[in-house]
Homo-oligomer: A and B are copies of this chain.
Amino acid sequence: MARYDAYLSSPISVSIRLLEPVQLSIPTTEQRVPGDPFTADVKDHPGWVAYSASGEAEGQLIYAHFGSQTDFAKLQALGVDVRGKILLMRYLGWDGRKVRNAERFGAAGVIFYSDPQQDGYHYGDVYPKGDWRPPGGIERSDAIDLPYPGDALSPGWASVPGAKRLRPEDVPLPRIPVLAISYGSARQLLGYLGGNVAPYDWQGDLPLTYKTGPGPARVRIQTKMNNGDRPIWNVIGRLPGKTAPDQWVIVSNHHDAWVFGAGDPSSGTAALLELSRDLGQMAREGHSFRRTVVVAFWDAEEMPTIGSTEWVEQHMEELLDKAVACINMDSAVFNPDRPLSVSAHPVLHELFREASRSIPDPKTGKSTFEVWRDAQNTFRHTPTEDGWDEFFNPEAELSEPYVFAIPSDDADAFFDYLALPASDMYYGADYGVYHSIYDNFHWMKTVADPQFRYHAVMAQLQGLVVARLANADLLPLDFATEAGFWRRSYQGLDKSSHEKGQQVPKLREALDLIDQWEMEAKGLAQDEIELLSDPARREAAQSHLMELNQMIYKAPRNFYRPKGRADSPEQRNLFFGTSYDFQGVSGTSLPGIRFALDQGKVQEAEREADVYLEALRLRVATLRSIRQSIANIR
């Protein structure tokens, strides 16, 4: 049990009252569903937003679409002044940033809701009949917009009991009241908005014309929050490795939820408990893997990823030394009618695909590999909550499942901080009870996964990947696939910089190095096969495996940048990063170069490009030296 002190948030009460043109109390709790016992006490679970300020705000209402930078610019262009107003915003994107935008432009308060266009009847039957958000469902979230994940008051260090803490008032947490309502409630408010007809692409799926306001609707919102330090606990278990106890394979899930969280996270927690039981059984029978398996149940993932981040901060040096990968789940099952969704460091992609080949799909009897790929082909033109990533081409028919390149959730700290192979996954990224009271056992049992067969699929997938990583003779990290992602990323950057008239010839130099890297990676994979398939050499290899695996699992550190990015020292992964600038995209590949180019700083981009070239040369040298070591084994 690892304890940290964390600055947490919880609600005491929230309310909205429509004052003009009519007086009306707007529901801020969800609706009871007949037959669903978990909804009996909806009144105890208001539509709150974590880290909202406590307070009251009154003003005319404005519909601000998603509340993005672009949306605020559009409001300005339409002559809509948001100062002193209450902004009604739809979910999608980075909620903390939306609230920050509202504050920057002088808004008095924010109301969030999830439009049926996002996860409601636009996609299918709503709960309790189907998996999508009913008119009374409320999505909860956090309104954090800090340039670091984890505990708000201990940036960069672990908030172990007694550690230094910042004061909340010195940290840019929300200063205005923020709360969340259902689309049923939002419809009531939108019906009282006048002013401009909102732009074409701002129109949602409620049966009315969305207008921007301000007014005539005038509302008063009140939030009473209980924000403060409280203990959180990660639960950590260990099955020490037989031959390489200092090579750690971490397998994890979080255990906190917004309300009941049958899907998010308990479906994943349950799967990991099953895996833990199996590992316990193994241990009792005297078995273990070649490497150490660390089982971790994180706390406070929802506000945001505090448990995992603090643990990584506490064990940073040890993890850099010992961690092979973190195979995080987050949630096992949301919607088995939608594609399995795996996001992982690219060295892990092939491993996930391979594992999926041997897991039968419960409904069809086909392999999970096939069902995963086929479902992605079916839905590749459908917008997805998580978004197809920058590397995905929806026009091309997939011949194998597509794994997203950027993990998130509790994988963040491992991936962003330490550039470690990490992943997260769930069956069906798109569904509609997300962060609502309806994400409960009744929903899971009647709608999502009544026989828990997809829970089993996910437990098997996570378990197989972990077992392979923990027990393989040679670690199955696939550097060739990784090279492909870097190439696509460099090509995209080269193209977009040329379109902007920016000349960065070093981008093309990198492409040459990536070609070499890919060639060496493919050579290495071949070398490994030859080594292990020749009985004599395999025998000779045994005494070298420790050293070889050491070299292999350390290779991802080629892209670890000890001092972090200049604008965000916590972010040390050269491949991916998040910008906290208001102009740029928020998360992207090759962040060092791209953010500089976004800001028009070509010289800085060139300096960054040099850092990347050096890392790429190191990568090529690393692969060559592993191959040399293998060649020496006779």
Contacts and interface: CB of A to CB of B under 8 A. Distances in A.
Interface of A: 116, 121-126, 130, 132, 197, 200-201, 203, 205-209, 379, 381-383
Q: Which of A123, A130, A203, A379 has the most CB of B within 10 A?
A: A203
Contact of A207 (B200, B205, B379): B205
Given A126-B209, A201-B381, A203-B205, 9 more contacts: A121-B208, A122-B203, A124-B209, A125-B209, A130-B209, A200-B383, A205-B207, A206-B207, A207-B207
Chain A to chain B: the 5 pairs with minimum beta-carbon distance, closest first? A200-B382, A207-B207, A121-B209, A124-B197, A122-B203
Contacts of A381: 200-201
A213 to B, nearest CB: 14
A209 to B, nearest CB: 5
A319 to B, nearest CB: 41
A423 to B, nearest CB: 27
A132 B208 CA distance: 11
Q: Which of A124, A206, A379 has the most CB of B within 10 A?
A: A124
Contacts of A207: 116, 121, 205-207
A123 B197 contact: yes
Contacts of A121: 207-209
Contacts of A382: 200
Contact of A122 (B122, B126, B209): B209
A125 B206 CA distance: 14
Contacts of A201: 381
Contacts of A126: 209
Nearest to A206: B207
Contacts of A124: 197, 209
A397 to B, nearest CB: 14
13 contacts: A116-B207, A121-B207, A121-B208, A121-B209, A123-B197, A123-B209, A124-B197, A124-B209, A125-B209, A126-B209, A200-B382, A206-B207, A207-B207
A127 to B, nearest CB: 12
Contacts of A130: 209
B200 A123 contact: yes
A124 B194 CA distance: 11
Q: Which of A121, A379, A382 has the most CB of B within 10 A?
A: A121
A123 B205 CA distance: 12
Q: Which of A126, A197, A379 has the most CB of B within 10 A?
A: A197
Contacts of A116: 207
Contacts of A132: 209
A383 B199 CA distance: 12
Nearest to A197: B124
Contacts of A200: 122-123, 379, 381-383
A349 to B, nearest CB: 26
Contacts of A123: 197, 200, 203, 209
Nearest to A196: B124
Nearest to A187: B207
A429 to B, nearest CB: 14
A126 B382 CA distance: 30
A626 to B, nearest CB: 42
Nearest to A208: B121
Nearest to A194: B125
A64 to B, nearest CB: 19
A54 B543 CA distance: 88
Q: Which of A125, A209, A379, A383 has the most CB of B within 10 A?
A: A209
A505 to B, nearest CB: 28
A56 B126 CA distance: 36
A80 B205 CA distance: 26
A330 to B, nearest CB: 25
Nearest to A205: B205
Nearest to A77: B378
A121 B379 CA distance: 28
Nearest to A203: B122
A66 B123 CA distance: 19
Nearest to A200: B382
Nearest to A116: B207
A203 B204 CA distance: 12
Nearest to A135: B207
